[in-house]
Amino acid sequence: MSNEPIIGFIGLGRMGSHMSSRLIAAGHRLVAYDVDAAALQRAVQKGATAAKSPAEVASKSDIVFASLPTPDIVKVVALADQGVIAGSRARMFIDLSTTGPRTAIEIAEALAAKKIIAVDSPVSGGPGGAEKGTLAIMVAASRGAVDELRPFLDVLGKVFWVGEEAGMGQTMKLVNNLLSAAATTITSEALVMGVKAGLDPATMLDVINAGSGRNTATADKFPRCVLPRRFDFGFSTDLLYKDVKLCLEEGERLGVPMIVGNAVRQLMAISKAREEPGSDITRIVCAVEDWAGVEVKGKTKV
**Structural contact between residues 162 and 153, judged by C-beta atoms closer than 8 angstroms:** no
How long, in residues, is the chain? 302
Burial label, 74 (beta-carbon count in 10 A; 0-12, 13-18, 19+) = buried
Rounded distance, CA 244 to CA 23, Å?
A: 30
* Known catalytic residue at 173: yes
From the list 60, 173, 242, 272, the catalytic residue is: 173
Q: Spell out the alpha helix ranges (H) of the chain.
A: 16-25, 37-45, 54-60, 71-79, 101-112, 126-132, 143-156, 168-197, 201-209, 216, 237-254, 259-274, 284-292
Rounded distance, CA 48 to CA 9, Å?
A: 9
Q: How many angstroms separate the most distant Cα atoms in the chain?
A: 65
**Structural contact between residues 116 and 85, judged by C-beta atoms closer than 8 angstroms:** yes
Point out the residues that are catalytic: 173
